[in-house]
């Protein structure tokens, strides 16, 4: 598959920034195949406390988180189709999240990864982390980071 016909990966978590990234990708990368991805944690910090109980198996949380990620990815895929992409949604479980995104991009030999940015300042980025920067650092392909809307 040539890079001109290779699909792109679009990260989508349901946020306005992720929806903005879909719009930017449509303008810049044109109509093509897209895999819209939501990567969820197998078990959230709150759920990890519940797994201490022998009554609640961690597999139940993993299934619930996968289903939620599938729903989010499907909504993102619909937005991408509305923007002109031939899009499919795909959910994954992974920690750290960047690793799930990069793995999917490698699996489908994506031409690029598209991701929105929250626009965190240095202090917040240090403490909260930046998924967009982690993806860009670890991906072995182009990454389009779409900044948040500037209200100025």
The residue that leads in pLDDT, 32 or 53, is 32
Q: Residues 120-145: what's their mean pLDDT?
A: 75
Look at residue 49 and tell me if it is in a domain: yes
pLDDT digits (tens, 9 = 90+) for 58-117: 566 788 888 999 999 999 999 999 999 999 999 999 889 999 999 999 999 999 999 998
Look at residue 56 and tell me if it is in a domain: yes
Q: Which domain holds residue 87?
A: 32-119
The answer to whether the beta carbons of residues 144 and 112 sit under 8 Å apart is yes
DSSP letters, 57-103, are: -HHHHHHHHHHHHHHHHHHHHHHHHHTT-EEEEEEEE-SSHHHHHHH
CA distances from 124 to 14, 119, 120, 139 (A): 21, 10, 6, 23
DSSP state of 38: E
Look at residue 138 and tell me if it is in a domain: no
Look at residue 40 and tell me if it is in a domain: yes
CA angle 72–3–99, rounded 5-degree value: 40
What gap in Å lies between CA 136 and CA 125, rounded to an integer?
15
What is the percent of the chain where pLDDT is above 90?
A: 62
Q: How many domains does the structure of the chain reveal?
A: 1
Predicted local distance difference test score (pLDDT) of residue 5: 81
Look at residue 99 and tell me if it is in a domain: yes
The residue that leads in pLDDT, 101 or 55, is 101
Residue 134: strand, helix, or coil: helix
Look at residue 98 and tell me if it is in a domain: yes
Residue 140: strand, helix, or coil: coil
Token digits of residue 30:
């044109």
Look at residue 152 and tell me if it is in a domain: no
Predicted local distance difference test score (pLDDT) of residue 125: 44
pLDDT at residue 1 is higher than 50:
no
Look at residue 24 and tell me if it is in a domain: no
Quick one: 72 exposed, middle or buried, by C-beta within 10 A (0-12, 13-18, 19+)? buried
């Amino acid at each position: 598959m040539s890079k001109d016909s290779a699909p792109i990966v679009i990260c989508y978590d349901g946020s306005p920034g992720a929806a903005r990234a879909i719009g930017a990708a449509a303008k810049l990368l044109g109509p093509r195949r897209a895999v819209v991805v939501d990567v969820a944690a197998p078990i959230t910090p709150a759920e990890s406390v519940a797994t201490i109980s022998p009554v609640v198996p961690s597999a139940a949380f993993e299934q619930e988180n996968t289903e939620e990620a599938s729903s989010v990815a499907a909504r993102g895929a619909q937005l991408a189709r509305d923007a002109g992409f031939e899009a499919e949604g795909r959910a994954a479980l992974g920690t750290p999240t960047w690793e799930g995104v990069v793995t999917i991009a490698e699996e489908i030999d994506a031409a690029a990864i598209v991701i929105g940015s929250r626009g965190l300042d240095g202090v917040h980025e240090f403490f909260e982390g930046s998924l967009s920067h982690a993806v860009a650092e670890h991906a072995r392909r182009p990454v389009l980071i779409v900044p948040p809307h500037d209200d100025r």
